[in-house]
Amino acid sequence: MPVAARVEITPPDIAPYRAGNTGIEYVTTFDSGRAGPHVVVNALTHGNEICGAIALDQLFRSGLLPARGRLTLSFANVAAYLRFDPAEPNAARFVDEDFNRLWDQATLDGSRQSVELARARLLRPVYESADLLLDIHSMQYATAPLLLTGLTAKTVAFARRVGVPELIVRDAGHAAGGRLRDYRGLGDPAAPQLALLVECGQHWEERASAVALNTTYRFLAAAGALEDEEARRRLAEPAPPQRLIDVTTAVTIQSDDFRFAGDYQGLELIAKAGTVIARDGGRDIRTPYDDCVLVMPSRRLARGQTAVRLGRFGA
C-alpha cells in the first residue's frame, strides 16, 4: 500500500489559468507568429504529481513566449489535483481511473465513461496537434530522475538533445493501458511527432520542482522554442553525461498476492541472473540476466498493474 511522505512543496493555485485561450479549460497556447513546431508541455497527468504544476506556474509568471511556432501549457487531470490534501497526498492520483492508461483509439472512442476519460476526450485534439510533447511526472520513491522515451530511435535521439536528466529509460509501456507519451504519432517510429515523459523524483520533494523546470527549459531549447539569449541564460548549468537503461521486461501482476523480496525503491543493480526479486502468487519473479536494474518498483500492487520494470544499462 502507498505510504505517506513529507510534502515539501506547495501546490500552486492554478485558478488564474482556468479560462485559458483555447476553448478548453486550463489549456493556454502562445503563438509566436513565426513558423515552427507546436510544443506542448503537460502537467498533472496525475493529480498528486504537483511538480509539473509548479513548473507551468513559473512559466506563466515568467512571461515566457515561444521564439517560433506555438507553445501550449496544459494542466491535465485538474479534477484530481483540486482534491489534493497534504495529509493524504496519495489520494489525489486520479478520481475514477488512471489518466495515463487511456491513450488508445478503442478506449477514447468507446462507450466507457469516467472523469478521466471525459477530460482525455476534451484534451485529445491538443495532443493530436502536438509536434513535440513533454509530459511531466514524479515518482513514489526518492530516486534519481528519469527520462522515459519509449522504444523509438527518434525519442532517444531527442532525449540526448534535451540532455537531462542523467538517466534515459527506453521502455515499451504498460499492459494496463496506453500512455499519452505513446499516443498515435507521438509513439509511431515513422511519424515526425515525438513525446518524452520525465519522472522528476519523489512526488513531493523540493528537488522535483527544480528538475521539472530545468527539464522543461531544456526541452524547449531542444525544440527551438527559446530565443538564443534566453536559452543561454536558462541553460547555464552544464548537463551531466547521460546513461541509457534498456527495459526488457515489464512485470505485470497476475495474482492478488504479489510481494517483493526486498525493500526495493528503484535503480537497484541485481548482480546475478536468476535472483528472486518477488513472488506473484506461487510464481517466482527472477532477474533475467546479470546486472539487472530495477526501474520504478511500485507500491500500488494490484492485479493487472506493472509491479516493476527490468532493464540493463546500454550504450
- Residue range 189-213: mean pLDDT, rounded: 96
Output the domain CATH number for residue 276.
2.40.50
* pLDDT greater at residue 223 or residue 227: 223
CA distance 121 to 128: 11
DSSP state of 274: T
Same domain, 44 and 169: yes
Phi, psi dihedrals of residue 211, rounded to the nearest 5°: -65, -45
Same domain? For 102 and 154 the reply is yes
Residue, of 237 and 64, whose pLDDT is higher:
64
Structural domain of residue 110, as residue ranges? Answer: 15-241
Q: Within this chain, do residues 176 and 110 fall inside the same structural domain, yes or no?
A: yes
The pLDDT of residue 308 is 97
Q: Which residue matches cell numbers 513566449?
A: 65
Average pLDDT over residues 45-49: 97
Q: Are residues 136 and 172 in the same domain?
A: yes
> What does the angle CA 248 – CA 249 – CA 253 come to, to the nearest 5 degrees?
170
| Domain presence at residue 216 | yes
Q: What is the 8-class DSSP label of residue 8?
A: -
Tell me, yes or no, whether 103 and 137 share the same domain: yes
Range with lowest mean pLDDT among 142-151, 232-241, 299-308 = 232-241
What are the two backbone dihedrals, phi and then psi, of residue 248, each rounded to the nearest 5 degrees?
-105, -20
Mean pLDDT of the chain: 95
In this prediction, residues 115-143 reach a mean pLDDT of 97
pLDDT for 238 equals 81
Confidence band of 5 (pLDDT split at 50, 70, 90)? low
Grid coordinates in use for 88? 493524504
306 within a domain of the structure (yes/no): yes
Residue 75 pLDDT greater than 50, yes or no: yes
